[in-house]
Amino acid sequence: MTWSFHAEWTKLRTLPSSWLLLAATVVLTVAVGTASVSAVTTRDCLTAAACHEDTVKLSLTGVWLGQATILILGALSMGAEYGTGTIRATLTATPGRSRVLASKAAVLATATAAAGALAITASLYAARLILPGNGFTPAEGYPLLTLTDPTTLRAAVGSVLCLILIAVLGLGLAVLLRDTAGAITLGLGLLYVVPLLADLLGSATWKDRVERWAPMPAGMAIQVTRDLARLPIGPWPGLGVLAAYALGLLLVGAAIFRWRDA
């Protein structure tokens, strides 16, 4: 297993696309989060308290876009090998297919966790600097963002876990479809198109169902730190829904991968 992990890590770190996608994840997450907190001010409300702004969730808005590049990274980790035919060499060097897939998932999770932790920490730090200047001060009921606060820590750790699960989702789709473009298209559809369709339908019932059971809306519930009672699904159960999609697809893919020709 150690040798297989090292082999998969070598593949990931020697591909320029891997570093570009990880860097893009950090940049997009921080940039969108910073833009979001910069655009909101208490001057738009009658009073600062009347804004009812979830500043933690607002600062982590960038995850909504950053997950797209992580999905692509996950899909490429397997889809690229099918596209170039190098999957045959991989399976010749490491005949244990479950070991190959487990190593890919572990390498993906490690790289994504590092990039995600950097992106989330930077987003929260930027928000901590910007929000007081926009009126969101401790005196107005908006404490400075800090990871020592349990709810902020939960949102931060949960956001990193979201990114890891999205990477695994991309990997699982690539294993099932054996095609990078197909995995990316289907993955982006699950993340973005399904919630959009629910909004277009204009049905409160379907909107509630999508927020409970679609991977992105459910997973993003982990970022909410205020008015939790109003959520269609709680933070950790919502993350559990995303985990079910990601791990479920990976397990199904692993079962098929074991008996299907390369």
Residues 136-152 have a mean pLDDT of 92
The pLDDT, as a whole number, for residue 106 is: 93
Is residue 136 helix, strand or coil? coil
Nearest CA among 33, 14, 6, 156 for reference residue 93: 6
The pLDDT, as a whole number, for residue 30 is: 98
1 pLDDT more than 60: no
**What is the rounded average pLDDT for all residues in the chain?**
90
Residues 17-46 have a mean pLDDT of 93
Cα separation, 220 vs 227, in Å, equals 15
101 pLDDT more than 80: yes
Cα separation, 187 vs 226, in Å, equals 29
DSSP 193-246: IHHHHHHHHT-HHHHHHHHHHSHHHHHHGGG--S-GGG-SS-HHHHHHHHHHHH
Q: CA angle, 227 as apex, 226 and 230 as ends, to 5°? A: 140
pLDDT category, 95, cuts 50, 70, 90? low
> Beta-strand (E) ranges in 101-194?
none
Task: For residue 35, give the H/E element and its range.
Answer: helix 16-39
Q: Which residue's entry shows tokens 């949960």?
A: 158
pLDDT in tens, 189-235: 999 988 887 777 777 787 888 889 999 999 999 999 998 988 999 99
pLDDT in tens, 45-78: 877 777 889 999 999 999 999 999 999 999 998 8
Cα separation, 214 vs 236, in Å, equals 14
Nearest CA among 69, 41, 56 for reference residue 222: 56
The pLDDT, as a whole number, for residue 151 is: 96
pLDDT category, 155, cuts 50, 70, 90? very high
Cα separation, 2 vs 73, in Å, equals 22
Q: Which of 31-35, 37-41, 255-259 has the highest mean pLDDT?
A: 31-35
Higher pLDDT, 249 or 94: 249
The pLDDT, as a whole number, for residue 246 is: 97
94 pLDDT more than 80: no
Cα separation, 98 vs 251, in Å, equals 10
